[in-house]
């Protein structure tokens, strides 16, 4: 059975909210990495790697945004993968901040 227009709307809206939360999280990761670098809790190489990972996540969001209009299910899956990567990076930064 094909999802209704209403179901598609709510799924797309939920993905929009999730994308927005990822953008905020990526920004916070960048800021945290810069703070930890200044505090000498991570190396310059670590900070550069974190910034590159953040770049990849933002690029992934562009792909998700494009998919959201045509394939909500695939977009949701890719967004979930980005969120999992974010959580891992956040955990790393939290550990380094101690």
Q: What is the DSSP code string of 41-90?
A: SS-HHHHHHHHHHHHHHHHHHHHHHHHHTT-HHHHHHHHHHHHHHHHHHH
Overall average pLDDT of the 22-31 stretch: 90
CB 36 within 8 A of CB 42: yes
Q: How many residues are present in the chain?
A: 98
- Name the band, by pLDDT with cuts 50, 70 and 90, for residue 20: confident
Read off the tokens for 51.
């910034």
Residue 38 C-alpha from the chain's centroid = 24
- Name the band, by pLDDT with cuts 50, 70 and 90, for residue 59: very high
pLDDT at 9 over 90: no
The residue to which tokens 């977009």 are assigned: 75
């Amino acid at each position: 059975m094909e999802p209704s227009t209403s179901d598609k709307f709510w799924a797309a809206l939920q993905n929009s909210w999730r994308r927005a939360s990822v953008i905020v999280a990526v920004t916070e990761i960048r800021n945290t990495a810069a703070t930890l670098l200044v505090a000498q809790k991570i190396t310059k190489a670590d900070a550069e790697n974190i910034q590159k990972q953040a770049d990849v996540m933002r690029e992934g969001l562009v792909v998700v945004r494009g998919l959201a209009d045509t394939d909500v299910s695939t977009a949701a899956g890719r967004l979930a993968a980005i969120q999992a990567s974010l959580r891992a990076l956040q955990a790393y930064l939290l550990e380094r901040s101690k």
